[in-house]
């Protein structure tokens, strides 16, 4: 009997013991398909793109199905707060950045981080090289774009570390979720994700040369280098439901399928690019391959195993959330997270199971691709 079959049988036995995979205290029984698969809803934090390639691959390649799960991926958007969707019972798991989710927890959302998929931050602050913005201190007196909605915490932490007051020393500009304001010269520095908006700059044509912009045209503040990076894409579960042994079992199996999906995208980035494009991603093939490659850099290598929450990185994120002030003088958190904010229990069980299937869960030999971008990200 394979490890996949053993886990599926164990899950079915657990469901039988608990009379339908649910309890009166922790919500209704998880629905099943006619094929006996447990239905699971995963809420993304943004539109379909290769930032979520591992989850898409886990569906398309049947990795979730191997774990006895029928996973429905719910697309995110500007007005969707994934941790709220989860806390309100409209999804079984959600992808959300740690600081945003912790802020929601402090406001009463009952959610727990069960898998830290991105081990590194992908947030940049980008400017044209001739602006001479090479450190956060150089932002003083500049027009600084940011998206808001909780995406700005690392920027404010970087400015605070440099001795700048975000409310007085810079002009903050609400930035759209693109790079047009920087390209037009409306702002001096723009927020960008390494896997998305930064690529959009390199997909734009330099009017001075008639060719695509090169990285040398820009300077990048990388918060991993500055020292104010915060943990980003994590998998969150419903805290109350984690008291239910059946939900725990589903969580382990869901994490197992997810790990397989990200391992597949590490080893097969072009195929994952194709899956994402087929799902209707708004930008095209070259952009999605760049994004798959850059997302892989945030996941791999994972020395402790993909999804394991590093205590030092967690504490750094919490400390910055407690001490960094925004333009109004408010911090992300007002106190240490209470209750079960995170646990490695389920991801370690999933890692053990996936290792038993012979899958590399650390990616020690991971080598990123060299990706050539096309104008407009086609």
Q: Which of 75, 30, 107, 116 is nearest to 346 (CA)?
A: 116
Q: What is the DSSP string of 277-325?
A: HHTT-SS-HHHHHHHHHHHHHHH---TT-TBPPPHHHHHHHHHHHHH-B
pLDDT, tens digit (0-9, with 9 covering 90-100), for 190-217? 999 999 999 999 999 999 999 999 999 9
Whole-angstrom distance, CA of residue 49 vs CA of residue 83: 19
* Residue 7 in this model has a pLDDT that exceeds 90: no
Residue 378 binned pLDDT confidence (cut-offs 50, 70, 90)? confident
* Residue 6 in this model has a pLDDT that exceeds 90: no
For residue 35, the model assigns a pLDDT of 83
For residue 34, the model assigns a pLDDT of 61
73 Rama class: left (phi>0) / alpha (psi -120 to 50) / beta: beta
Span 255-268, mean pLDDT? 98
Q: Which residue has the higher pLDDT, 152 or 378?
A: 152
pTM beyond 0.85: the answer is yes
Q: Report the percentage of the chain scoring pLDDT > 70.
A: 92
* Residue 4 in this model has a pLDDT that exceeds 80: no
For residue 3, the model assigns a pLDDT of 52
For residue 247, the model assigns a pLDDT of 98
- 3 state DSSP class of 232: coil
Q: What is the mean pLDDT of the chain?
A: 92
| Residue 186, number of CB atoms within 10 A of its CB | 13
Longest CA span, the chain: 70
Q: What is the DSSP string of 112-152?
A: EEEEB---S--EEEEEEGGG---SGGGGTTSEEEE--TTTT
Contact 68, 6 (CB under 8 A): no
* Residue 362 in this model has a pLDDT that exceeds 90: yes
For residue 17, the model assigns a pLDDT of 29
Per-residue CA distances from 368 to 242, 299, 362 (Å): 36, 11, 15
Whole-angstrom distance, CA of residue 158 vs CA of residue 135: 9
pLDDT, tens digit (0-9, with 9 covering 90-100), for 11-50? 433 333 232 333 334 555 578 776 899 999 999 999 999 9
Contact 306, 259 (CB under 8 A): yes
Span 112-127, mean pLDDT? 98
For residue 29, the model assigns a pLDDT of 57
Contact 54, 265 (CB under 8 A): yes
Tokens at residue 322, please?
């407690």
């Amino acid at each position: 009997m394979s490890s996949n079959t053993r886990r599926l049988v164990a899950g079915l036995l657990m469901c039988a013991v608990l009379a339908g995979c649910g309890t009166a205290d922790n919500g209704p029984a998880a629905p099943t398909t006619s094929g006996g698969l447990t239905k699971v809803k995963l809420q993304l934090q943004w539109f379909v793109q290769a930032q979520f390639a591992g989850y898409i691959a886990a569906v398309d390649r049947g990795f979730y199905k191997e774990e006895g799960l029928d996973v429905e991926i719910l697309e995110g958007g500007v007005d969707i707060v994934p941790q709220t969707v989860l806390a309100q019972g409209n999804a079984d798991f959600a992808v959300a950045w740690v600081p945003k989710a912790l802020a929601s927890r402090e406001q009463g959302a009952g959610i727990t981080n069960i898998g830290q998929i991105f081990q590194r931050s992908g947030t940049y602050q980008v400017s044209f090289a001739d602006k001479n913005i090479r450190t956060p201190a150089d932002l003083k007196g500049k027009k600084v774009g940011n998206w808001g909605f909780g995406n700005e915490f690392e920027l404010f932490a970087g400015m605070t570390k440099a001795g700048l007051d975000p409310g007085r020393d810079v002009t903050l500009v609400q930035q759209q979720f693109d790079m047009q304001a920087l390209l037009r010269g409306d702002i001096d520095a723009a927020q960008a994700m390494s896997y998305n908006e930064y690529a959009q700059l390199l997909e734009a044509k330099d009017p001075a040369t008639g060719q695509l912009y090169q990285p040398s045209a820009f300077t990048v503040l990388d918060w991993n280098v500055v020292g104010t990076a915060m943990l980003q894409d994590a998998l969150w579960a419903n805290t109350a439901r984690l008291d239910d042994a059946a939900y725990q079992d589903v969580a382990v199996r869901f994490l197992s399928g997810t790990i397989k999906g990200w391992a597949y995208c590490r080893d097969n980035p072009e195929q994952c690019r194709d899956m994402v494009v087929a799902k209707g991603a708004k930008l095209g093939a070259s952009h999605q391959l760049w994004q798959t490659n850059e997302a892989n850099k945030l996941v791999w290598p994972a020395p402790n195993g993909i999804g394991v929450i590093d205590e030092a990185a967690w504490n750094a994120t919490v400390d910055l959330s407690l001490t960094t002030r925004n333009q109004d003088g408010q911090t992300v958190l007002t106190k240490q997270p209470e209750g079960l904010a995170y646990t490695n229990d389920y991801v370690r069980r999933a890692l053990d199971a996936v290792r038993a299937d012979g899958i590399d869960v650390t990616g020690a030999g991971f080598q990123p691709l060299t990706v050539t971008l096309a104008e407009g990200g086609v």
